Structure 1
């Protein structure tokens, strides 16, 4: 999987070495509670979540990247494209450790992920699935050009689907 760089982030494949930082991020109930995937906060929940993203990369050839702050080398979170079984389209998602909220990293990583979807995956449409009571993620989706498309039932809950048409793409 390609390593991407933005102005402030290195976006590299998630690995087992990320587990401690990943588990610490998901141990925060406010972080885990904002995810449409309904991830729990235990180390076992974090292990399953991390394994899911690594496995998605093996199956699809793409997945969320680990986000690493260039200036410090610190793990910031994860972001990237994905389309697991039952997901309503090619999606871009993000999850950041709370101490990195409000720095613009989610928007920066989501924009790089959209470019990757267009340029490398040939995507013509990309979506996000967001819980209705997650205004921070809704704001990120809108900053990257997504608009509210519809509400759906996903994994037993009502979620917003935000998205945009990317136009023609070359592979």
Structure 2
């Protein structure tokens, strides 16, 4: 009966966390694979590495600034905490884990609000994994490109044409 009740109204927050966690894990595997000479079989053979092992390996292989690796790994650990909390639902624990994720995430993107959205955290983690940038920097880049394409270039070539 508890199983039937649980299936009636799926917890969309939990589904998002688990889905985004899987995407982040895949991104971590991609970054690690790009940093090792012979990655074949690293993530496909048994026994499989845990998410925690992958975080430690990422930190050990990180080619950039060690401080960035520390910040990134702290965020990854906090995302893992949220994922574990939704797997064993306890609303107070989930809220505490999201608060921990927010604090850690603020280290890689100081402009976030009071509480990081799970999608924003997942996107920011994946972006930071690739080149150490954050979502705010990416938005500023896109805004600059938009300004260039829609205003500056048309004005420079003789007026705005639609």
Tell me the TM-score normalized by structure 2: 0.31
Larger radius of gyration: 2
More strand by share: 1
Q: Which has the higher contact order (CA 8 A, sep 6+)?
A: 2
More helix by share: 2
Tell me the TM-score normalized by structure 1: 0.30
